[in-house]
Amino acid sequence: MDQDVEIEPVLPDFELDDFLPYLLAEAAEKLSRELADIYRDAGLSTPQWRVMVHLSYSGQVSVRDIERRVSMEKSKVSRAAARLETAGLVEKRADPADGRLVALSLTGQGHTLMARLLPRALEYQHQLEGLLGADLNGFRHALARLLNSERRT
Amino acid sequence: MDQDVEIEPVLPDFELDDFLPYLLAEAAEKLSRELADIYRDAGLSTPQWRVMVHLSYSGQVSVRDIERRVSMEKSKVSRAAARLETAGLVEKRADPADGRLVALSLTGQGHTLMARLLPRALEYQHQLEGLLGADLNGFRHALARLLNSERRT
DNA sequence: GATCTTTTGTTGCATGCGCAACGATGTCAA
DNA sequence: TTGACATCGTTGCGCATGCAACAAAAGATC
């Protein structure tokens, strides 16, 4: 009778607008784009921005330190650092204690730049916090849970 | 006296772990990575997955439709669709009404694949919802606010 | 000390991306 | 109908990325 009719299983109801990984990706991309408006004028790419931020409050660190702390591939960090050095914003020296390590630090120029950019980044953060209002604490709590959770499988 | 001493402005206190754009980016990347475990076995890339999801509940659409709906570059959609067609998961036909449009739709094979993958994606979603617990509503609310907000400056 | 392993940072290579340019089709106005 | 303009999808190109391979340095083991 209907043996040559393709039986297509019914797909479950899937609403993309309710799907958390998708929503989170969209929101993250939007915030990243808006934040980039702050440092793009200074000629910084996103990886370069992250390295600069890390150097701003961590003093003298190695590539490996940044890789661990900011979860960037070490090759990404290495290339970002190379360009920052060329731009005169970062200084690369050999660690005297361990020859494998590279000691990255801000130059005076880099320091001056971050003194200009960081307040604007913080202002943006305050804007976001104001926008979230009463949901801010729950939001932070939820993010922390997601970041610290382990995959069940 | 100290006229040749470089005066370095003090950088504002900036804690990366409290910075919302960074936290959001980290969480989004983590969830995306975990979700990818579900569809990577099927040989799908992330853009391909998004196209498949959209086709799963939108029926027959054009490249432009997906571009608008899923906020992917049209070139990205185009290439993803081309590979999905090669893989036999998606069918590309010319829209009879408008020759410029391409009518994308799932093949039987694509339908079968999504019938297998979508429940697993939903299960992952349920895991996340369970993890967030009481913070879920606030979290969703906050995400909606961020996504719908307009840049002030 | 000699040898093997581990760690650190850079580089080569293949791949995917965004952007612009393009051809093809459709729309509008005169 | 014709010509100017808009829209859609693909493709070429430059560039960033992730991964693996690599050299240099440090550590471990004997």
> What digits encode the pLDDT tens for the residues A8-52?
677 788 888 899 999 999 999 999 999 999 999 999 999 999 999
Long-range contacts of B35-39 (CB under 8 A, 24+ apart): B35/A21, B35/B121, B35/B124, B37/A151, B38/B117, B38/B120, B38/B121, B38/B124, B39/B117, B39/B121
- Residue B113 CA and nucleotide D29 C1' are separated, in Å, by 53
Q: In the structure encoding, which two tokens stand for residue B55, read together? A: 């086709």
CA distance A143 to A137: 10
Report helix, strand or coil for A108.
Answer: helix
Q: What is the pLDDT of residues B123-151, one digit of tens each?
A: 999 999 999 999 999 999 999 999 998 86
pLDDT band of A5, cuts 50, 70, 90 = low
Query: What's the pLDDT score for residue A131?
Result: 95
CA angle B128, B130, B136 (to 5 degrees): 80
> H or E element: which one contains A92?
strand A90-94
pLDDT band of A71, cuts 50, 70, 90 = confident
**Chain B: closest CA distance from residue A100 (Å):** 27
Query: Looking at chain B from residue 113 to 142, which residues have their Cβ under 8 Å from any Cβ of chain A?
Result: 114-115, 118-119, 121-122, 124-125, 127-129, 131-132, 134-136, 138-142
Query: What's the pLDDT score for residue A16?
Result: 86
Q: What is the pLDDT of residues A95-131, one digit of tens each?
A: 999 999 999 999 999 999 999 999 999 999 999 999 9
- Residue B82 CA and nucleotide D6 C1' are separated, in Å, by 25
Query: Looking at chain B from residue 12 to 41, which residues have their Cβ under 8 Å from any Cβ of chain A?
Result: 12-16, 18-21, 23-32, 34-35, 37
Chain A hits for B128, CB-CB cut-off 8 Å, are 20-21, 146
pLDDT band of B3, cuts 50, 70, 90 = low
Asked if the Cβ of residue A92 lies within 7 A of any atom of strand C, the reply is: yes
Long-range contacts of A8-11 (CB under 8 A, 24+ apart): A8/B108, A8/B111, A8/B112, A8/B115, A9/B111, A9/B112, A9/B115, A10/B115, A11/B56, A11/B57, A11/B111, A11/B114, A11/B115, A11/B118
For chain B, what is the mean pLDDT?
A: 91
In chain A, pLDDT over 90 holds for what percent of residues?
A: 81
Contact B25 A10 (CB under 8 A): no
In chain B, pLDDT over 90 holds for what percent of residues?
A: 80
Q: Is the pLDDT confidence value at B5 over 80?
A: no
CB burial string A111-145: b at 16+ within 10 A, e below: bbbbeebbeebeebbebbeebbeebbebbbbbbeb
Q: In the structure encoding, which two tokens stand for residue A26, read together? A: 């969209």
Q: Is the pLDDT confidence value at B54 over 80?
A: yes
- Residue A64 CA and nucleotide C12 C1' are separated, in Å, by 21
Task: Tell me which amino acid residue A3 is.
Answer: Q
Residue B105 main-chain phi, psi, to 5 deg = -155, 155
Task: Tell me which amino acid residue B26 is.
Answer: E
Q: Which residues contact B68 (CB under 8 A, 6 or more apart)?
A: none
B124 with B38: CB under 8 angstroms? yes
Q: Is the pLDDT confidence value at B61 over 70?
A: yes
